[in-house]
Structures are given as C-alpha cells and as structure tokens.
Amino acid sequence: MRRFEVKLRRTDLLILILLVNLVYAGEINFTASVDRTTVGLGEPFELTVTVSGVNISRVPKPQLPELAEFDNLGVSQSQSTSISIINGRVQQQTAISFVYTLVPRKLGELTIGPCRMVYDNTEYTTEPIRITVVKSKTRSQPRTQPQSRFPPGPFDLFEEPEPEPAGADDVFLAASADRTSVYQGEQVTVTWTIYTAQELARLNLKETPALTGFWADDIYQAQELRYEQRTVRGRAYYAAVLRKTALFPTQSGELRVGPMKLEGQIVTGGFFFGRAKPFSVASEQLKITVKPLPESGKPASFTGGVGSFEVSASLSSDRSTGGEPVTLTITVNGTGNLGLITAPALPSVPGLKILTPETKDNFSYAGGRLSGSRRFVYPVLPTADGRYRIPEIELGFFDPKSGSYYVKKTPALEFVASDVPAKSGPVETASPGLRVIGSDIRHIRDRLVRSRGWEQAAGLAVILYPLGFLLLIAGVILGRHQRRLQLDTGYARRSRAFRQARQRLKMAKRALRENRMNEFYGLVRQAVLGFIGDRFNIEAGALTTAELQTELGRFGVDAGLVTELLDTLNLCEIARFSPGAVTCDPPQLLIKAEQLLSRFQTAGGR
C-alpha cells in the first residue's frame, strides 16, 4: 500500500477549526481589551469594548463593571464596516467599538471585571482584565494577545509569521477623467477602477473623494464587483469599476478631484483555505483645468446652461374662470448641466401675478452624458377679467463645442380670464343723488334721516374699518415678501427649503414602495443636503465633509446635530455605493431625515 503524507500549516488547521466552531457560534462577538496591562499611577489608558458580527444594528452600549479603583474620563464610539466579496457578491461585517479612558487611583494589581451586553434577548460577557499599576509612568506597550485555550500540539513546530502586507503591484486603485480641460459647467466624467491579481475580501471604503467646486451626480455605483481582464504595465489584472460620476464645475480655475481610499485583503492560495494579506490603496488626485465662461457676447437671459438645449412653454388651460390660476410651464430639454440651470426671468404682464416657480427634473444618462429635462412650473393668477398674452420668453445658453453663446425663445401664449372676483375699493359716484354699486342703482335722499338701518351700518363700519386696516397691512407684508423673493436669493432659498425637501422625501417614499433602493437613498440624501444648502444659502453639494462641518459650525449649529447630519449623509452614500456594506432600516432612515429637517429649521443663527 502506498502511503501519502500531508503537511498542514498551522494557519490552515486553525482556520478549519474556527470554521467548525462558527457553525455553532452566534452572530455576535463581544470582547474587551486594553492598550496596555502595566500603567503608571494617575496615567490614563484605554479600555476598548468591541461588538462585531454580520448584519448587526442598533447595538446597545455595554454595561461596565464597577470601577471603584479607576476614574472614568469618558467614552468615544467608532464603527467600521468591511465588505467581504464571495463570488462577486458583497457581504457586510460590522465592528462597533466603545473606547473608555480610565485612570487608576491606587497601586498594585487591579482587575477590570466582565463587561455585559444584552442583544436580541441574549446576554454576552467579556473576560476580566488584570492591570498592574506602578509608581512611575510607563510607555505604551503592545496589546497582549489572548492565550490559546488549546495545549501545545505538534503543529506548533510549524508556526508561521504574520502575513506581510500586499505589494503595490498586487492591487491598486485608479481614477481617470474623460477630459482634463473644460469650461465652467461642462461635464467631466470620472471613473474609479480597482485592479487586482488575486481574489479580494473584506473590502472597506475608507474615504470618499473630495469634490470641492463641482456639482456631482453619480452615473454608476457598483452593487457587486464585475471583473474583466485587462493588461496594465505588462501584467494581467482583473479590473472592476467601483464608481462613475458626472462632475460639473461650478467655478473656474484649477480644481482637484480628491483620492478615494480603500482597504481590504488579498486572498492567496493555501492547502485548505487561502491566506489573507492586508492592503490599503488610494487613487491618485486628479487635476481639472476649468476655463471661465466668456463675458463677451453673454446674453442677459443666460441662466447657467452649458450644453445643447431646446426650450418650450405651455399653459395648463386657455381659460381661467372665477380667478382660478393657470399653470405656465417652461421646459428645457437637452444634454448638459441641467441641474445648474436656474429659472428664467419673466416679463411683467399687467393684470397677472406670476408666482415663484417649482422646479421638476427628469434626468438620465445617454452615452454617459447627462440629458433629460428641467421644468419650471409657474402659478399664474389673473386679477381681472380679460384676454392675457404672455410674450416670448428668452433663455441664453453656452455651447462648449463652439465656445459661444446662443439664445432660444418660447412662443407667445394667450388665455382668457372671466368672472374674476372684483377687488373691494372706493365706490364710484355716477351723478348727484345716484350711487353705482355693481349693476344696481338706487336713489339717496339729500337729507340724512336717522334710522335703525343707519345705526346698523355705522356699527358695521366700526367692525370693518379695523379689518380693512389689517388687510392693508397683510397686503404690504405679502408685497414685500414677493419682492424680497425676487431680489434676495438667500431669502428665496430659505423660503422654499422645507417645501422642496418634503417633496423629495415624498418621492423617496414612492421609490421605497417600488423597491428602487438606489434611487431611494439618493433622494433622501438630496432632500437633506439640498435643505441644508437652501437653509443656510451655501452650495452644500460642492463641499467636502470637513468643509460642510466648518460652514455649519460658523452658523452656530450644535456640533452633535452636525455629527448626526454627516452620519446620515454618509449612511446614504455607503448604502448607494455598497448596499451590503451597512445595515440600514429604510423606514427609520426616512424618519431620521424628517427629524433632521425639523431640527435644522431652528438651528444656527439664521
């Protein structure tokens, strides 16, 4: 009989044993550790309590043991989410750490008792930790590794060193732009692609790229990694696109697209299972040269459109009865920076009140370019009977291909208003002894006769006089409000902020009901971020996380509220970019977004 010998590495055996144990283990791993076990009297050290597992959410704060021999200086919390990729599918692993800063109050051997936590009706506890407290301060020592519960075995002779980090040639992250010189408002498409020679695991997005000075809209975000073979620098790689984003510069000059940062593991072959090498990669920073739009030839009707567009206009009806409003819709169709086009200025039409428009968008990407329509919907109120004509409306645009401006016009529109309620005003006198009221004519005696009717009329006048005065004040206030909406952009943005945010959340609810999750997270993020921009009159979508935090701090917004906002925006971003990378309850996210809108309504100095 032939004899076969198999040599096992210790790591392969341990992995096999761990996998067998995991069949019976729960989903939660609850541990406690310290950054050192020997500290000086009065010297702070860190106790870290970590909860990790798959698909965990809303983890309660751990219950600490009695710490009579320590001073507790406070706690901080951090969360990391990693992505395990199995057969191209993204799976989530989450670790939540509670870091307590403790200071020993006496010398000798001290013990930190077990920490406890109840999760899903199951109680978890950690092992006690012994701390040695000495008189003099100590240097930080490496965290001790837990001793194995298994006795030494024959495979200890074959112990292997920890795996070395993966080399730069094994995996890298590249960012590319389809063009590096554009006009302000012209689209630049940036693509982030990961290249690897081996299988990847535990992929974790550490930092999203900074996009200061751009209005950004995602064209594609990977929900699972789809690899294709490519040869780079003479070596074969598997490449997968992570993200493709359309960027529209909102200012001229040298703008930069910040790096995207990822970390994870490369899995190499083993006898039973692969070995994991950690890696951390970052894409290179991209520089985009943005040319300013020329001042020469710029039409007065230019509203920011850069691209190829057509315009149209329509009325909801050619007739208005009883003062009912009609709706004027101006539509811009085409390809370009539709999201940056503002409402055109409308000519004044005597007898008509044209109110502030509502903006409705229908965007898509054809051939990687933003196209679709933006509609401006104006309520139009007639104030008297008659035939009204809304003249041609002009919109100016810039064509980046020719480097020149062009103008588009809408056709003139007409409608008829009838039975419009007349305004109250002074009564006309037709002739001595006659008073005209509507179509009724009645004689008035030249001599005043005191009667009960006269007394009733006098009483009514006493009541109506203050009411008319109040109506006059209300009209003045409303007029000032309308004029300020036209002249003060910040005031107009603040006035519409809450209404537009609620409309976007309503669209998000519809997307959630129809299971369009990527659109749902995008709409929630747009609702919250757009509200912040309008509320404080800032371009929130063009700011990095740090810049947005600084701006809101400048307005006096509470730091805790800002942190909640950034966490919510980050959750939406990761949920769109890597749906399996975070645990998110969509209905709870909607509630959180509505709460943020309400709290930011009164936050800050404006």
What pLDDT digit, counting tens, does each position of 213-260 carry?
A: 898 888 888 877 888 888 887 788 899 999 999 999 999 999 999 999
* Of the candidates 234, 230, 251, 235, the residue with the CA atom closest to the CA atom of residue 176: 230
Q: Report angle CA 386, 392, 397 to the nearest 5 degrees.
A: 150
For the chain, what percent of residues have pLDDT higher than 70? 73
* Of the candidates 444, 510, 547, the residue with the CA atom closest to the CA atom of residue 213: 547
- What burial class does residue 154 get, using C-beta atoms within 10 Å of its C-beta: 0-12 exposed, 13-18 middle, 19+ buried? exposed
Residue 19 has pLDDT above 50, yes or no: no
CA trace torsion 509, 512, 516, 521 (10° rounding): 70
Q: Length of the chain in residues, anyone?
A: 606
What is the rounded distance in angstroms from the CA atom of residue 379 to the CA atom of residue 357?
Answer: 7
Domain 304-418 belongs in CATH node 2.60.40: yes
Which backbone phi and psi does 263 adopt, to 5 degrees?
A: -140, 160
User: 260 near 283, Cβ under 8 Å?
Assistant: yes
Q: Which strand (E) or helix (H) includes residue 386?
A: strand 386-390
> Comparing 393 with 95, which gets the higher pLDDT?
393
Confidence band, pLDDT 50/70/90 cuts, at residue 430: very low
What is the rounded distance in angstroms from the CA atom of residue 123 to the CA atom of residue 117?
Answer: 6
Domain 25-146 belongs in CATH node 2.60.40.10: yes
The CA R_g of the chain, rounded to the nearest whole Å, is 34
Q: List helix spans (H) across 108-194.
A: none
Contact partners, residue 179, CB within 8 Å, separation at least 6: 188
Region 171-291: CATH code: 2.60.40
Helices 452-487, 489-513: inter-axial angle, 10-degree rounding: 90
What is the rounded distance in angstroms from the CA atom of residue 64 to the CA atom of residue 62?
Answer: 6
Contact partners, residue 422, CB within 8 Å, separation at least 6: 384
Q: Is the dihedral of CA 329, 334, 339, 341 positive or negative?
A: negative
Structure tokens at 131: 């701390």
Q: Which segment of 24-28, 365-369, 588-592 scores lowest on mean pLDDT?
A: 24-28
What is the rounded distance in angstroms from the CA atom of residue 398 to the CA atom of residue 303?
Answer: 10
Strand partners, 100: 47, 75
What confidence score (pLDDT) does residue 95 get?
80
Maximum Cα–Cα distance across the chain: 141
What confidence score (pLDDT) does residue 274 get?
55
Give residue 532's identity as a one-letter amino acid code.
Answer: I
Residue 575 has pLDDT above 70, yes or no: yes
What is the rounded distance in angstroms from the CA atom of residue 182 to the CA atom of residue 397?
Answer: 16
Q: How many CA atoms lie within 13 A of 335 on its CB side?
A: 8
Strand partners, 309: 334
* Of the candidates 341, 346, 309, the residue with the CA atom closest to the CA atom of residue 329: 346
Strand partners, 201: 265
Residue 462 has pLDDT above 80, yes or no: no
Sheet strands (E) in 250-357: 253-257, 261-268, 275-282, 286-291, 302-315, 319-321, 326-336, 352-354
* Of the candidates 341, 289, 352, 285, the residue with the CA atom closest to the CA atom of residue 315: 352
Confidence band, pLDDT 50/70/90 cuts, at residue 22: very low
Question: Model pTM?
Answer: 0.47
What confidence score (pLDDT) does residue 91 get?
57
What is the rounded distance in angstroms from the CA atom of residue 416 to the CA atom of residue 74?
Answer: 71
* Of the candidates 167, 199, 192, 166, the residue with the CA atom closest to the CA atom of residue 177: 192
What is the rounded distance in angstroms from the CA atom of residue 170 to the CA atom of residue 155?
Answer: 30
Q: Which segment of 264-273, 274-283, 328-337 scores lowest on mean pLDDT?
A: 264-273
Q: Report angle CA 232, 163, 143 to the nearest 5 degrees.
A: 135
Residue showing tokens 């795996």: 163
User: 131 near 33, Cβ under 8 Å?
Assistant: no
Q: How are beta strands 129-134 and 38-40 bridged, if at all?
A: parallel
Confidence band, pLDDT 50/70/90 cuts, at residue 27: low
Which backbone phi and psi does 66 adopt, to 5 degrees?
A: -65, 130
CA 538, distance to chain mean position in Å, is 15
Residue 424 has pLDDT above 50, yes or no: no
Give residue 399's identity as a one-letter amino acid code.
Answer: D
